[in-house]
Amino acid sequence: MFVDKRILLRTIELRLDDGTILPVNVYVKKNGNRMIARFSYGELEIYTPRFCSKKLIEEFAYKVVRTHSDHIFARPFYKENVYIYMLGKKKYFTNDITKKDDENYFYIPSNTKDPLTRYKKLFLDYLSVRAVELGKKMNVDLSSWKFRTGLFLSYAGCCFPTKHQMKFDYRLFAYKPYISDCIIYHEIAHVFEIKHNEKFYSIVKYYCPDYDHLEKEVNLGHFEGDMDYVIPRH
């Protein structure tokens, strides 16, 4: 799942009516002379021509916030020392070993420098099982493939068929499995077709009929998903 490579211009902070500070990443557009907004993992991003002033960018950002207030995500997937989302569930950080197996908590030993290190490791463990399961549905054997994860600005996932490798953004671990599955299906489909053309999307939607809806859930940061959504049987 690719988007154009981006150049980060600056990060601005918007103060919402309730006092919440909303950070917004501002990127330079390669082409075009107008600003656009998009949501990625529930966070607002602004794309602007290179020479727009900070004042104009902030005015545009506030307009987007007022127009799409229902999409502004005031709870990022991870808040340092407070909580993290994992497989659609909000888990609170704790170093109390008695809560290690409590599904409401994410246990980290008191000497841990970066809790995301363990999070990424758990995601890789999950991927090594889940991707193989979905691969079997698509008649692709991924049991010998290598999986990597990281924080990627230009894509949610990436497939290298000739190298038998896939990479995924670790923020996907925040979503319920049926949501993040759409990205995994997307990358496996590249085994059959490398380009994002009609043939490629027909493969993706054959195995993931609600791909468009689920991809939108990823972009809007709906980690817990739509409570009324019924997972289609295939």
> Averaged in consecutive runs of 10 residues, what is the pLDDT profile of the chain (234 residues)?
60 78 81 79 80 88 76 64 91 93 92 87 96 97 95 83 95 94 97 96 96 88 65 47
Half-sphere exposure at residue 176, Cβ-oriented, CA atoms within 13 angstroms: 12
Report the alpha-carbon distance of residue 8 to residue 144 in Å, rounded: 36
Cα–Cα nearest to 224, from 179, 168, 181: 179
What pLDDT sits at residue 159? 96
Report the alpha-carbon distance of residue 2 to residue 6 in Å, rounded: 11
Q: Where are the domains of the chain?
A: 7-67, 78-234
What pLDDT sits at residue 130? 97
Amino acid letter, residue 68? H
What pLDDT sits at residue 72? 56
What pLDDT sits at residue 38? 77
Name the 3-class secondary structure at 109.
coil
Q: Look up the CATH superfamily of 78-234.
A: Metalloproteases ("zincins"), catalytic domain (3.30.2010.10)
Buried b (16+ CB within 10 A) or exposed e, 86-105: bbbebbebeeeeeeeeeeeb
Q: Are 33 and 56 in contact (CB under 8 A)?
A: no
